[in-house]
Each structure stands twice: as structure tokens, then as C-alpha cells.
């Protein structure tokens, strides 16, 4: 995500999102499938809707 987007929406927990991405990309054999499933079932539906709304708003402002 662009730094400008992260600065504009400081209420989003960017650190855990970045950490999950790094672990899932670089340590895919060490990823707990239970952990991924919990995120997919509990966190992702809420966060994805919020992130999509923020990203669309950001894109409109920045003609992205």
C-alpha cells in the first residue's frame, strides 16, 4: 500500500497486515493453516470491506 494511503488512514492497523503478508509470502512452509483460516473467517471479511472503501476513496482523490 502506498505510504500516502497509510498516512491518510492511520486508524487501520497496517502493521499486522504487513506482517501477515510478509510471513505468508516468505515463510509459506511455516505458516499455520489454522491461523490463516481464523484470519480468513474472522478478520478478513471486516477488514476487506473497510480497506476497499478506504482504497476507493483514496483512488478517487488521487486519480489512482
Identify the residue with better confidence: 19 or 58. 19
Q: What is the pTM of this model?
A: 0.58
Q: How confident is the model at residue 64, as a pLDDT?
A: 52
pLDDT in tens, 3-49: 887 888 888 888 888 888 888 888 878 888 888 898 889 888 878 87
32 burial via Cβ count (<10 Å: 0-12, 13-18, 19+): exposed
The three-state DSSP-derived secondary structure of the chain is CCHHHHHHCCCCCHHHHHHHHHHHHHCHHHCCHHHHHHHHHHHHHHHHHHHHHHHHHHHHHHCC
Q: Give the whole-angstrom CA distance, residue 18 versus residue 20.
A: 6
Amino acid at each position: 500500500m502506498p505510504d500516502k494511503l497509510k498516512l491518510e488512514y492511520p486508524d487501520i492497523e497496517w502493521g499486522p497486515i504487513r506482517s501477515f503478508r510478509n510471513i505468508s509470502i516468505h515463510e509459506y512452509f511455516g505458516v499455520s493453516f489454522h491461523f490463516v483460516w481464523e484470519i480468513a473467517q474472522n478478520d478478513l471479511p471486516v477488514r476487506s470491506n473497510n480497506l476497499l472503501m478506504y482504497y476507493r476513496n483514496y483512488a478517487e482523490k488521487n486519480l489512482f
